[in-house]
Amino acid sequence: MDKEIQLAADAGLDYWAFVMYPVQDSMSKGLHLYLESTRSNEVKFCVILHNNLAEWVSAEDWQREQERLVKMFKDPRYQTVLNGRPLVYLFQSNIERFKELREVVAKEGINPYYVFMGWDPPKDYEAQKPNGFDAVSTYAAVAEVRTFAELVHDIERQGWQSWHRAAGAGIRYVPLVTTGWDKEPRKENPVSWELDHDYHQQPFFPSQAKPEEIAQHLRRALEFVNAHPSVCEAHAIIIYAWNEHDEGGWLVPTWQKDGGLDNRRLEAIRSILRPRAE
């Protein structure tokens, strides 16, 4: 974890967004390791509310989760936007528990910037703004196309541009940058909670992204945010993903047979976020 934090910070990444599970869940291990790292102040963190708000979480555990989240929002390592507002995403989670959490957080004097992750931003914004969301975004981009370039085209033309056209309605959002979406490895090695998902019948997935393709996609996202400050008011981008290896999107360097690291993707990101001096 120390090495991964060092690599992410060196590449210019500001924060990691952790998908949240109950504190005792094995899926929380990455977050635990990050919080325990002596280098964690080098890359900030934020949360994507998810299964820690689920109905199957007991009332007692839910109380602990609320206390845990309040503590995180006060952590100096937590990513903030707009002069100190904690950046909080929600993806496929319990809206009623989210409303309860909002009340608890507000009583603590905390004013997060809440971002709803859905699939149709204009409609999502209209539906979710009354629930207390400040903006919308997307967790990942899914498409039945053959190349990464086509996937990026869908995001930039059908995603960013359609959201921009809807900005007249006051929509605010955090643009998604993808590093890929190839669930073939998960088809070959299924996880128990996705056995009935449509991708098991999907005949093909986008090709693996070349490092320079990711870098230019990110460059265009930064330009888009800068060009549309009223829409992208949080001045934030979210990249899918640091470590979703079996879903086709990742930046984290991978180990090679010789024991070295394949750092090409992250170096491409660095060329945009923190160019080396010539």
What span, in angstroms and rounded, lies between the C-alpha atoms of 132 and 61?
A: 24
Domain map (residue ranges) of the chain:
2-180+207-241+266-273
What one-letter code names the amino acid at 128?
Q
Average pLDDT over residues 139-162: 88
For residue 96, name the pLDDT band (cuts at 50, 70, 90). Answer: very high
The predicted structure's pLDDT at residue 278: 45
Predicted confidence at residue 252, as pLDDT, reads 95
Contact, 250 vs 258, CB < 8 A?
no
Q: How far is CA 20 from CA 116, 118, 121, 159, 209, in A?
A: 14, 16, 22, 25, 27
- Counting DSSP H helices and E strands in the chain, the numbers are 10, 12
pLDDT value, residue 32:
98
Pairing relationship of beta strands 135-137 and 80-81 according to DSSP bridges: unpaired
Decide if pLDDT at 121 tops 50: yes
| Mean pLDDT score, 58-75 | 98
**Element (H or E) spanning 44, and its range?**
strand 44-49
Question: What average pLDDT score do residues 97-103 get?
Answer: 98
| Predicted local confidence at residue 235, as pLDDT | 97
Kindly report the average pLDDT of the chain as a whole number: 93
Rounded percentage of the chain residues whose pLDDT exceeds 70? 96
- DSSP symbol at 209: P
For the cut 90, the answer to whether the pLDDT of residue 159 exceeds it is no
The verdict on domain 2-180+207-241+266-273 having CATH code 3.20.20.80 is yes
Spatial distance between the Cα atoms of 119 and 28, rounded to a whole number of angstroms: 25
Match 């992208």 to its residue by tokens.
232
Greater model confidence, 156 or 20: 20
Whole-angstrom distance, CA of residue 123 vs CA of residue 102: 22
Q: What is the pLDDT of residue 122?
A: 78
pLDDT band at 113 (very low <50, low <70, confident <90, very high): very high
Q: What is the mean pLDDT of residues 84-112?
A: 98
